[in-house]
């Protein structure tokens, strides 16, 4: 009977001596209420009735959802929704002691952590205007980390990340911001349309200028060619008339017949090529004689000029 009682006592003592710590956790052992040591994951042993598992602390990452309000420098209400990711700093004995004994329980730690983050963000937002807040997510997170890292280190924790998932304003502010964006877009569209119209008009003016320049150059070239052609025509006519005059002299005929022939050919050309235009010509003998004399005088002048040029 005593043997059975002894075996039972031994079993109870062994049962009370064995402590199994789950992976990702650390057990804090106290002796008569005073910190003694920590137990790492796996099978551990303690002294029954003397050593006591004060708290099992998870060293895994933890997350929490936050919702709070802040006021900007221009008195606009801003509503934040954020996700907090934190963990125990490390498995060193000093860090575990801070986690185990700094706060009475986990709820009090979470309250202090959340309020510290809210206070840091509110103090940052209070220095900014509402128009700046939406573009300052990264700056807000960096400011919170800078302010809280040394505080959390004293509590045995480390802030891994703070993600601000949503930033909203009062409904009236949202409507006014939408109007500002709409008006800004309208102004940008008008400016773009004006620039496009300016480019179109400029290109059209450049094209018109190029067209006028090319047309003027073509007209100038055409005039030059026409002048050259007319000069060559006159030169050939003069050569032909000179040859005809020599032939007339060889035949002992008056060279004025050549001019008379040109006169009659001109009259024929007027009659054949006329399009209904009225041309007045002096067809009298006196008029023809006057015209012949003028033509002979012009011929004589040209001859004298050529003779002078040769001298």
Domain ranges of the chain: 2-58, 62-169, 176-251, 254-311
- Sequence-distant (6+) residues with CB within 8 A of 53 are 19, 27, 28, 29, 39, 46
pLDDT score at 196: 77
> Comparing C-alpha atoms, which of 61, 86, 81 is closest to residue 145?
86
pLDDT score at 230: 67
Residue ranges of alpha helices (H) inside 251-284 are: 256-273
Q: What does the pLDDT look like over 79-121, one tens digit per residue? A: 888 888 888 988 888 888 888 888 888 889 888 888 888 888 8
CB 18 within 8 A of CB 45: yes
Bridge partners, 166 (sequence order)? 81
Answer whether residue 229 shows pLDDT above 80. no
User: pLDDT-derived band of residue 253, with 50, 70 and 90 as boundaries?
Assistant: low
CATH superfamily ID and name for 62-169: Band 7 domain (3.30.479.30)
pLDDT score at 75: 81
Mean pLDDT of the chain: 79
Range scoring the smallest mean pLDDT among 6-15, 75-84, 191-200, 232-241: 232-241
Distance CA 259, CA 16 (A): 151
pLDDT score at 27: 92
Answer whether residue 262 shows pLDDT above 70. no
DSSP 299: H
pLDDT score at 292: 66
Answer whether residue 188 shows pLDDT above 70. yes
Output 207 or 272, whichever has higher pLDDT: 207
pLDDT score at 189: 73
Distance CA 209, CA 197 (A): 18
Answer whether residue 20 shows pLDDT above 80. yes
Sheet holding 25-31, edge to edge: 34-39, 25-31, 51-58
Taking the alpha carbons of 185, 189, 194, 196 in that order, is the dihedral positive or negative?
Answer: positive
Output 210 or 157, whichever has higher pLDDT: 157
Output 291 or 132, whichever has higher pLDDT: 132
């Amino acid at each position: 009977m005593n043997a059975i009682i002894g075996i039972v006592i031994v079993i109870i003592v062994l049962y009370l001596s064995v402590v199994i710590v789950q992976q990702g956790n650390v057990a804090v052992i106290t002796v008569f209420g005073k910190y003694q040591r920590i137990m790492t994951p796996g099978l551990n042993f303690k002294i029954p009735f003397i050593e006591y598992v004060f708290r099992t602390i998870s060293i895994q990452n933890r997350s929490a959802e936050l919702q709070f309000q802040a006021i900007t420098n221009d008195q606009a209400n801003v509503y934040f929704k954020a996700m907090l990711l934190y963990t125990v700093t490390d498995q060193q004995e000093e860090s575990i002691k801070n986690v185990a004994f700094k706060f009475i329980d986990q709820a009090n730690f979470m309250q202090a952590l959340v309020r510290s983050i809210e206070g840091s963000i509110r103090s940052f937002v209070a220095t900014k205007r509402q128009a700046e807040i939406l573009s300052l997510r990264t700056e807000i997170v960096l400011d919170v980390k800078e302010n809280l890292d040394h505080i959390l280190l004293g509590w045995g924790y480390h802030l891994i990340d703070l993600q601000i998932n949503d930033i909203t304003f009062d409904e009236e502010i949202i409507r006014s911001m939408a109007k500002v964006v709409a008006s800004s877009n309208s102004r940008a569209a008008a400016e773009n349309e004006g620039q496009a119209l300016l480019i179109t008009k400029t290109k059209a003016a450049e094209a018109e200028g190029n067209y006028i320049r090319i047309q003027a150059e073509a007209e100038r070239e055409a005039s030059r060619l026409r002048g050259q052609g007319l000069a060559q025509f006159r030169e050939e006519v003069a050569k032909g008339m000179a040859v005809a005059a020599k032939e007339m002299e060889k035949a002992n005929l008056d060279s004025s017949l050549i001019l008379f022939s040109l006169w009659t050919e001109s009259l024929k050309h007027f009659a054949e090529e006329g399009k209904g235009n009225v041309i007045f010509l002096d067809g009298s003998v006196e008029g023809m004689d006057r015209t012949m004399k003028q033509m002979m005088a012009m011929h004589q002048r040209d001859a004298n000029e050529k003779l002078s040029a040769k001298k």
